[in-house]
């Protein structure tokens, strides 16, 4: 979270992605004056992990600079779902207890890679 680039919203977010082999890959949100080009901490961590050859994930922790936990946005939920619909998601703010859920709870009835593979069959 401390490496976050959030000059517009001042909403700093950090993520730590746990890979199946026990490595931790971090990410932070990066804003842009053209708001649509901003990137969330969760996607930064996933893209960084994939660029380093890691594609199997067990959990992600997301912490924000606000009091309450900030859950992943819809785009982040879909990106996380691509790699593991049962991924454990831990969210925390600056106060209170962390909350734990899974991607499939955050994004029920989702669309994933298996949908594309099934189209070519039968």
Taking only the tens place, the pLDDT of each residue in 28-61 is 999 999 999 999 999 999 999 999 999 999 999 9
Among 20, 23, 42, 82, which one carries the catalytic annotation?
42
Token code pair at residue 68: 């309450």
Do 61 and 90 form a contact (C-beta atoms < 8 A)?
A: yes
pTM here?
A: 0.92
Do 97 and 112 form a contact (C-beta atoms < 8 A)?
A: no
Whether 20 sits among the annotated catalytic residues: the reply is: no
Give the number of other Cβ atoms within 10 Å of residue 51's Cβ.
Answer: 9
User: For residues 13 and 93, what is the distance between their CA atoms, to the nearest angstrom?
Assistant: 9
Q: Write down all domains in the chain, each with its CATH number in brackets.
A: 13-119 (3.40.140.10)
Q: What is the CA radius of gyration of the chain?
A: 15
- Collapsing DSSP to helix, strand or coil, 101 comes out as strand
Comparing CA positions, the residue from 16, 10, 7 lying closest to residue 41 is 16
Do 62 and 90 form a contact (C-beta atoms < 8 A)?
A: yes
Q: Is the pLDDT of residue 121 over 70?
A: no
Q: Is the pLDDT of residue 122 over 50?
A: no
pLDDT tens profile 77-105: 999 999 999 999 999 999 989 999 999 99
* Angle subtended at Cα 77 by Cα 8 and Cα 4, rounded to the nearest 5 degrees: 30
Task: Return the pLDDT at 115.
Answer: 86
User: For residues 19 and 26, what is the distance between their CA atoms, to the nearest angstrom?
Assistant: 11
Task: Return the pLDDT at 96.
Answer: 87
């Amino acid at each position: 979270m401390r490496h976050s680039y959030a000059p517009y919203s001042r909403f700093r977010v950090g993520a730590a992605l746990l890979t199946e082999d026990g490595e931790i890959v971090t990410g932070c949100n990066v804003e842009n004056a053209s708001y649509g080009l901003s990137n969330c901490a969760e996607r930064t961590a996933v893209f960084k992990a994939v660029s380093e050859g890691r594609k199997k994930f067990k959990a992600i922790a997301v912490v924000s600079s606000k009091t309450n936990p900030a859950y992943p946005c819809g785009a982040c939920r879909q990106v996380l779902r691509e790699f593991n619909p049962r991924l454990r998601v831990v969210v925390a703010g600056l106060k209170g207890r962390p909350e734990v859920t899974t991607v499939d709870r955050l994004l029920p009835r989702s669309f994933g890679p298996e949908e594309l593979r099934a189209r070519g069959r039968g």
